[in-house]
Structure 1
Amino acid sequence: MDIFLEPFFQRALIGGILIGITAPLMGVFLVLRRLSMIGDTLAHVTIAGVALGFLINLYPVAVGLVFALLASFAIEWLRKAYKTYAELSIAIIMSGGIALATFLFTMGKGFNVKVTSYLFGSIYTLDQMDLWLVCIVTVLVVAVVLVNFKEWFLMFFDEEAAAVSGLPIRYYNILITMLTALVISVAIKIVGALLVSSLLTIPVAASLAVARSFKHSVFMAVLFSETAVIAGLVAAGIWNLAPGSSVVLLLIMILLVTLLFRAGSRAK
């Protein structure tokens, strides 16, 4: 168990715990908005930013974060332009993100291996700057959610009533997409761009299977996420497994257990 004494593992555990809070917290609202796939979209755009960061020798996560924020504005602009086909915004931005990332890969000068680590996650390489960035994003996300919780609850369950009551619907939509972009941009180094959307959606799916209320679903989503993150990282550290995939596989196991529990409850 000497792994717990290693600074790199301690940083990984702290980073994982923080993302384990913010990802499902935002995921609950994304699922209610029927935007579960936005995680994959923003992750691919973030990878393009990371690639550019390596290319121009700037802090890759910061450049990826800027790309993710710009993509969040683009998604909301396209959602407004195609009100009847709002899901087109996700498809368009994802296609552009993949194309741009591929283009930048072809211009790579020895950094392609480093960018690949962001695709699959490299939580053990978190440094102090990465950890501080994750901490700042976590505090920001939790604070904004707490302040706007009641308004978002009303907006997602009855958007027309929320608009009539005077809530700034467009502002809240942009704010949620921006916060999601921040979470994804700092999470890709932890679980990887290919798996980051799982932290947004799978804990929420599991919580919806057993939750008794909206607040309960938020609490259960974070609980499931933290359980999988901590257990997955510990298992990966002890048995030399891939940390990102270990976390996601545990999340899927939790989801299966909750679905079986719900099926059993209904059968009684």
Structure 2
Amino acid sequence: MYIFTFDFMQRAFIAGIITAVLASAMGVFVVLRRMSMVGDSLSHAALSGVAAGMLFGFYPFYGALIFSALAALFIEAIRKAFKKYAEVALAVVMSGGMGLAVVFISLGKSFNADLFSYLFGSLVAVSPSDVWVISGTGLFIILSLVLLSRELFSITFDEESARLSGIPVGVVNTYFTLLTALAVALSVRVVGTLLVSALMVIPAAVSLQIARSFKATFVIAVGVAVLSVVLGLYISFVFDVAPGGTIVLIAAAILTVVLIVRGFEGKLT
């Protein structure tokens, strides 16, 4: 327990657990709506926001929040224009976000240790102000999910029926994408922009393999994400490795074990 005597580890665990809950909860809806790549698309936009912050002299974390939110609105606009090819929006934002990030990085010559921490996560990068922003925004996202749970459930499983029942599908979809953008931007500090999508998708994939109800899906996904983050942060501290990659590898290992067990169960039955 001596690691908790370090202030930066306390901040890392607080931010990590909050982002684990947010990313995994959002991830369940994202996976069920067959939008698993939305995390990658928004994370590339977040990276361009980080690079813009380094280039123009404002805090990169806030740049990630702003650019992710703008990318979310852009995704919804493209999805409306290409109703039969919604995945086009994700590809456009992903490639555009990466292209913009590369340009900003080259202009500012920003490829340094600070940028590296945004790419792969860092234990010492989480500042006290980051914790306050992550906590406040995280509470807002959780309250939004609770208040919109019925609408999101209806839209996820039958969008047309939800529209006929009077639910403002377009507004809810846009709002949900904005919430996803915020969750992605908040996760950047812990797991990095290149790995944030995995924290959303892998716990959801594990829960969908073993959950027996919709509520259990959320509980299991959150549990897997929190376990992965806690173990990942501890291992990264002990062995001095990047936390983002460690967290993702633990989550992937859990998914692998679950798939192996499910495979054996299938053979036995």
Give TM-score scaled by structure 1 length.
0.96
Find the aligned partners of 2:117 and 2:227 in 1 and give their Cα distance.
24
Aligned amino acid, residue 162 of structure 1: A
Partner of 1:55: 55
- Which aligned pairs between 1:20-169 and structure 2 lie closer than 5 A? 20-110=20-110, 112-169=112-169
Aligned amino acid, residue 102 of structure 1: V
Partner of 1:181: 181
Does 2:218 match 1:213? no
Find the aligned partners of 2:206 and 2:123 in 1 and give their Cα distance.
24
Partner of 2:223: 223
Find the aligned partners of 2:125 and 2:84 in 1 and give their Cα distance.
43
| Superposed CA offset, 1:130-176 (max 9, x none) | 11111012101110111111221111111111111000111111111
Does 2:51 match 1:14? no
| Number of aligned residue pairs | 268
Partner of 1:198: 198
Equivalent residues of 1:47, 1:115 under 8 A apart? no
| Superposed CA offset, 1:166-200 (max 9, x none) | 00111111111100110111211210111100011
Find the aligned partners of 1:111 and 1:255 in 2 and give their Cα distance.
33
Find the aligned partners of 1:153 and 1:102 in 2 and give their Cα distance.
38
Partner of 1:4: 4
> In structure 2, do the counterparts of structure 1 residues 58 and 222 end up closer, same or farther at CA, with 3 Å as the change threshold?
same
Find the aligned partners of 1:148 and 1:194 in 2 and give their Cα distance.
29
Give TM-score scaled by structure 2 length.
0.96
Equivalent residues of 2:32, 2:156 under 8 A apart? yes
Aligned amino acid, residue 27 of structure 1: G
Aligned amino acid, residue 145 of structure 2: V
Equivalent residues of 1:16, 1:230 under 8 A apart? yes
Secondary structure, in 3 states, of the residue corresponding to 2:152? helix
Partner of 1:249: 249
Secondary structure, in 3 states, of the residue corresponding to 2:241? coil
Q: CA deviation at 1:238?
A: 2.3
CA RMSD of the aligned region, Å? 1.3
Aligned amino acid, residue 208 of structure 1: L
Aligned amino acid, residue 126 of structure 1: V
Q: CA deviation at 1:122?
A: 1.5
Find the aligned partners of 2:176 and 2:114 in 1 and give their Cα distance.
30
Equivalent residues of 1:123, 1:191 under 8 A apart? no
Q: CA deviation at 1:112?
A: 4.1
Equivalent residues of 2:47, 2:193 under 8 A apart? yes
Q: CA deviation at 1:242?
A: 2.2
Aligned amino acid, residue 171 of structure 2: Y
Equivalent residues of 1:54, 1:111 under 8 A apart? no
Secondary structure, in 3 states, of the residue corresponding to 2:220? helix
Q: CA deviation at 1:259?
A: 1.3
Equivalent residues of 2:55, 2:105 under 8 A apart? no
